Structure formats: structure tokens, C-alpha cells
A and B are shown apart, each in its own frame.
Chain A
Amino acid sequence: MNPEQSNPERLNFDPGDPSSTRNLQRTSSSLGNNDAERKPGLPSASAKKLANGLGWFSIGLGAAELLAPRAIASITGVSKQRTGLIRLYGLREIAAGIMIFSQENPEAGLWSRVAGDAMDLASLGNAARSPNASRGRIAFATANVLAVTALDVICAKQLSSNGGRGIHAKASCIVNREPGEVYDFWRNFQNLPRFMRHLESVTDHGGGRSHWVARGPAGMQVEWDATMVADVPGEIITWRSLENSDVDNAGAVRFERAPGGRGTIVKVNIEYVPVGGVLGAAVAKLYGEEPEQQLDDDLRRFKQVLEVGEVVVSDATIGGTGYFEQRPARPASARELERADTLPSELGTNYESDYRAEGRMTQS
């Protein structure tokens, strides 16, 4: 596997200048716009053209459904009593069309069309079961919807394989420790799963190479190899994932001395292409997995581990701090404790709290 080999699905992360904080932001705008590294198949311009065509189709069909539902019912062989439903579908079509035209990357609009197609097919299937259905017309309509669905899926996939949108998240915190110590703790990658909730394990292979295992959305396991791009003790660590990663990602952690000797400011920037593309990210969000929120919580736990020696848990948060993960604020039963996945014992105990060792505090 050659990490230098270019691949259109990879992030163009190249933090050539480790002190620049803008490298990561720059990569996000370069995603999907790099014509030289396009994947074989439909070029991005045609995907966009196809999307536009489908957008106009959406609006046209929507207008027809909205204004002439009886005619549509007659063409598709659906009962004429269903005009209310057809009008609603018309609104849905128009909304999808507007979504396609109003966004720089119409991928989400296309996926919403795919979802709409599924609804149409389900409705046609229902109609076919009705005793006085004109089956020929329904079959004809179904064939047409299937053809359009195929186009929608192809177009949506094209748009996402052109990069879609990588997710960018940043967060920062202040840790009451010297930059050198904070860097050392982070640089020892085995420590990361102790405060990064989605990481299962990190194995450092030396020479800047490491292997990462994490939990993705819906409990699936994702893995990747990463290489360090920059590593300046006490200042910065940057990395990017290598070929054949389940989740393409890149990131940087900076360590800065806080003014007034008040510890270390830790700034993290990460960028990744989410599992399942934009749709996957939207689904993850439904489960309360907001990337920036996660990173923020990870950093809070990082601070806790360094300052008090372990991750602090309450009765409500033994299953996680997400909105849907909260238990009531009451002691957990033995069974609940067994299942809890954020208990400090599982997050490792090798880093002994040393807060009582005077002199290690940067501020008192």
C-alpha cells in the first residue's frame, strides 16, 4: 500500500506548514472540486448536469401532481379518490427539486428524491392490490418510477463519490498542565481510547504508522491505518489516514501555552468522510452523534483524565453523555453497570492521578 498514491476518494490533507491553522479548512473547500483526481465514470460536470435535469423533472412532476392530481391518477392507474395523497407527493417532489437547486452540492436533494421514489413505489404497490385497479397502467407507471429511481441513485452516488462533503469538526480546551506533558499524553496513542469515546484501540506501529479501530454509527466497527504528517514535541501532531481506510480522515492537534501560565490550550481539527456519506452522517445525527459535540466531549474527558486522573461519570452518564444515552439520575443496577460503556475502569487505569504531586500544576 502506497500512502503517496493519489486517490480521488481521499482527503487532500497536506499540512505542509505545521504552524498553519488553515490547512484543514482549505481541504474542505478542495473536496469534490479537484477535477484532476476524478474517479473513472461520469465526470463531475455530467453528474451535476444530470442532477439539474432531475431537479427540473422533480419540479415539473410536482407541479403536475399538485395542479392536476386527477390526470396523474388516471395516467398511473391509481384510484381517483387519492388526489389528496397525490397533491402531497407533488409538494414533496417540488421540495426535492428546490433542495437540488439551492445547494452547492445537490447530493442531499438527490437522496431525498431516492427516498421519495421509494414512497411512490410503495404507493403503487398498494394501489395494485386494490380490486378495481388498472394493472397495466400501474405496471407502466412502476417501470417509469424504477427507471427514474435508478437515475437518482446513480446521480447521488456520483456526487458523493466525488467527495461529497467531508465533515470538519474543531474543538479546544485548556488543560492545567505544561504543554510538554499534554503533548506526551496525546502522543502516546494508546491513551486516546480512554477519552475518545468512539475509539476502541490504537496500535502504534512506530515510524509514524498506527492502526485505529473505532465504533461507527449503529455499532459497526471501522478501521484505518494512519501516518503522522507532522510531529513536533510540545507543539503539534498531524495525521492522515492511508489507503483502504474505512473512514478517510485527517487531523491536527496543537498545543499552545496558555497566557499567564494557565496551562495548555489544546486545539483539535479533524476532517473525515463519514461512513455512508451525507446520508450516513444525517442518520448518525438522528442518533445524537453530532461530530463537533463529540469532539468537544472527548476533549472534556481528556482534560478530566489529565487533571483528575480519570473520566468523571455521573449516574445519568454511565451510558454516555448524549441526549438519548442519559439514564435517570439514580444509582444504576448491577446489570446496567455491566453494560455501561463509559466507566473509567474500561477506559484504562494505567495513568495514575498525580494531582497531589505539587509542582506539576502550572497554576495554583
Chain B
Amino acid sequence: MRATCWYGKHDVRVEEVPDPQILNRQDAIVKISSTAICGSDLHMYNGVVPTMKSGDVLGHEFMGEVVEVGREVRNLKVGDRVVVPFPIACGVCGFCKAQAFSLCENSNPNAWIAEKLLGHSPSGIFGYSHMTGGYAGGQAEYARVPFADVGPIKVPNHLSDEQVLFLSDIYPTGYMGAEMCDIKPGDTIAVWGCGPVGQFSIRCAFLLGAERVIAIDEVPERLQMAEEGGADTINFRQQNVYETLMDMTGGRGPDACIDDVGMESHAPALIFAYDRIKQAMMLESDRPHALREAIMCCKNGGTISVIGVYAGFIDKFPMGSVMNRSLTIRTGQAHVQRYMRPLLKLIEDGAIDPTFVITQTLPLDEAPRAYSMFNYNKGECIKVVLKTGSNGNGNGFSTTAKDDNYTVIQ
């Protein structure tokens, strides 16, 4: 089969690899129809995620048709159309029973690596380094899906791939980012980062009762998409974020702040250079500028929701601000399995249409170009969907965005 493989920093290739096989009795093999590149895939593309190996298959947002099931799979059968959540979860350990699926104790065979770096291990994740299991990812024609009864959700045929694909990650992730803010009616929520997850955080914050959402980014197209979702916006290249937020909130600060940025934060020149140099010298692995700023801006007693991905260590963390001002920090890889059903219902009810975020649809073979575009042209490229099979090899791919500003580079 064709699969998107990682070979190093800025080196991603689509090549022929063996078809996946059933390895465990609760596995299913899914023939992938649509898959997507996640912002967190760019961390690997940029070479800042440790424990990658040449030839790793990338991708953790995918959906398709079940073509084979292991002998202990009960809930799925061949022919089912499913969306697969990015965390791999057994469904029976204490954490899964408590719905904390991304903390599953049984799904990461490489837990020892994560334990060395993180103290304890999170769940396994598709296509996301060896530290999270070393599972082949889903930017491919087929994928082996462990614990098929627990993860994949069947989706109705009247919904298109594009409408349901993001149930695999960014929609539940954005939702959990907003949910962790414990939003009360009338709250003002600030969102750092208007990438795909940030866009969903903005919309989900409104769904959860926020009165005002303020979105922070530097890319005009992304800020425009945030405005279309109802947010007020701050361009950190043009405005001082702290001062603007204080102006907008009467000096009190937002009730909760969501970090939808993670470890590769950009910032005005000097601070960015400081963190970039420390990162290059391996004095810190992650650049936490957005997180620092979110903490300083948040109101007393407020909540910092960290849903952007961090991998290792950060520097100059304003713990004094967190402690003296009674801030709450909530974090986690999204417990996707917990949210898929209710969030699918919101799509069916028409409360949200996840397709708004898609700017490009390309065949799987174009993955290297899609990675480069997503990494370097953040304006025109917000979310890429990759198509496989007969759809995926033909021509005629075009932008699905509502606006001609988004075009595929030829």
C-alpha cells in the first residue's frame, strides 16, 4: 500500500510499504478513504519530537471502511464506515473506565520510553513517535486499528467524509480545550492559536456558553476564519496582546485562556529568538511563549486550558503568577473516545459543520507537498484533507473553501 513516511526533518515521502495485518485479536484493518494532516504532525515534520525512526508512517486523523476484523472484535463488522480516534485505548483499564482514554495503561507497548521522559506513560497514539507506541499511522491506504471495539465510531452514510473526519482529533480536541475552561454563561475566553484546533475551540466555547471569545494569532487568513466563527481577534504582530486583552476586559483579564499553540510557539522577535536558541541548544525542548502569555493575561482565579501539544521541557515558567493568583491549569491529550458520540450528534443536528476549516483537498500522493504547504504557507493552508483510492489518484482536486483566496499551488 501507499503510505506517508517520515525520514527526518522536512523529509516526508509517500512510498510503497507492506499492507497491515491483524496482530492482536481485537484489531481491525481499515481501508482509509480520507485522512488529514494535523498541526501536531508538523512538530515531527520540524524534527522536534524525540523517538522518531526513519520510515515511520505518519498520521493520526483518518477514517474509512472496515475490511477485516480480529476474532475478538464484536462491535464492528466488515463494511462498516468508521472514524478512528487518535488515542489508542483498551477500554478496560482503570483510566479507560474513568473515560480518560488518552491515559490508557495497556495501549503503549513502548511505555518505558515515555516513562523515562515523562515519568509515566500516556496511551498509544497512531503515527506519533515511538514514545507513544510506535504504531503505523493513517496517512496511508490502510491502517491496523487496535481495540477496534473501543475506538472507531460508525458514522451514518448521509454525512460526507469531510463532515465527520475531524471527529478523529481536532474537533474533540478543540472541544476539550473549551470544556476544560469550565465555561459559565457570560464568560470571556481567550484562545491562543487559530490553527484548526483553535478554530474548533472558538466555536465550541460559544456552544458551551461563552459570551465572548478573543482569538490571538498572526496569520490574517486564520484570524479571518476566527472572526467568521464569531470571535474578536488580536494580531500579535500588530498589537500588544496583554494590553489589548486588558483593554477588552476592563483590566481584569479573560475568565479562561486556551493554549491551542503548544511547543512551537511564535512570538515577537526577541522572546522568540531567546526560546529558539535555547531549543536549538537543547536547553529546552519546547517553546512556551503562548503559554507564558496566557498565564500572565488570565484573570485572578481563572483557568488555563493547555490542549496544544508539549513534548518535553520548558523554561521561564511563571509559576509565581499561577500560585499567587489561584490559577488552575488543566491539560491533556484529548480523550477523543469520550466525545465522539455527543460531538457527532452536534454535526447531525446542524449545530456545527466541521468542513469550514478545510482549505485544501489533495490526493494522498501529494502528502509531501501538503506538509510543506501547511508548514510554510499558514495563510492559504489551514487544513488539508488527503484522499486515497480512486478518488485520490485522479486529477481535478481543488479547494473546497468557500473563498477563492484559498487555492492549491500547482
Contacts and interface: CB of A to CB of B under 8 A. Distances in A.
Interface residues of A, number: 40
A218 interface: no
Interface string B95-110: 0010000000111011
Contacts of B130: 316, 326, 329
Interface stretch (A49-57, A140-148, A331-339): A331-339
Contact of A312 (B19, B24, B53, B136): B24
A307 B23 contact: no
Contact of A176 (B24, B25, B93): B93
B135 interface: yes
Nearest to A334: B18
Contact of A314 (B3, B26, B94, B133): B133
A337 B21 contact: yes
A310 B71 CA distance: 13
Interface stretch (B54-62, B196-204, B215-223, B319-327): B54-62
A361 B92 contact: yes
A190 to B, nearest CB: 20
Interface string A157-184: 0000000000000000010100000000
Interface in B70-129: 72, 74, 90-94, 97, 105-107, 109-112, 124, 127, 129
B137 interface: yes
A314 B93 contact: no
Given A309-B72, A329-B134, A337-B21, A316 B53 contact: yes
B97 A328 contact: no
Nearest to A335: B18
Name which of A263, A303, A328, A332 has the most chain B CB atoms within 10 A of its CB.
A328
Contacts of A355: 91-92
B125 to A, nearest CB: 10
Which secondary structure dominates chain B's binding surface? Answer: loop
A3 to B, nearest CB: 35
A240 to B, nearest CB: 28
Interface string A301-339: 001100111101111111001000011111111100100
* Interface of A, helix, strand, loop or mixed by DSSP: loop
Contact of B133 (A308, A316, A328, A353): A316
A321 B136 CA distance: 15
Given A176-B93, A176-B94, A313-B24, A331 B19 contact: yes
A300 interface: yes
B92 A344 contact: no
Given A176-B92, A176-B94, A315-B136, A331 B20 contact: yes
B146 interface: yes
User: What band does the interface of chain B fall in when counting residues whose beta carbon is under 8 Å from A?
Assistant: 35 or more
Contacts of A307: 90, 92-93, 105-106
A296 B112 contact: yes
B24 A300 contact: no
A361 B94 CA distance: 10
A300 B112 CA distance: 9
B94 A262 contact: yes
Nearest to A290: B112
Given A313-B109, A353-B72, A328 B56 contact: yes
B287 interface: no
Interface in B43-68: 53-57
Contacts of B137: 329
B17 interface: yes
B5 interface: yes
Contacts of B57: 315, 328-331
Contacts of A9: none
A111 B60 CA distance: 50
B134 A333 contact: no
B144 interface: yes
A7 interface: no
Contacts of A344: 23-25
Given A316-B130, A328-B53, A337-B21, A293 B97 contact: no
Contacts of A293: 112
Contact of B106 (A262, A263, A312, A332): A312
A364 interface: yes
B26 A316 contact: no
A328 B146 contact: no
A353 B25 contact: yes
Interface of B: 1, 3, 5, 17-21, 23-26, 53-57, 72, 74, 90-94, 97, 105-107, 109-112, 124, 127, 129-130, 133-137, 144, 146-147
24 contacts: A296-B112, A300-B109, A300-B111, A307-B93, A307-B105, A308-B26, A308-B106, A309-B25, A309-B26, A312-B109, A313-B109, A315-B134, A316-B133, A321-B110, A326-B110, A328-B53, A328-B54, A328-B57, A329-B127, A329-B136, A330-B17, A330-B55, A344-B23, A355-B92
Interface of A: 174, 176, 262-263, 293, 296-297, 300, 303-304, 307-310, 312-318, 321, 326-334, 337, 343-344, 353, 355-356, 361, 363-364
Sort A-B residue pairs by CB-CB distance and give the 3 closest, nearest first. A316-B134, A328-B55, A331-B20
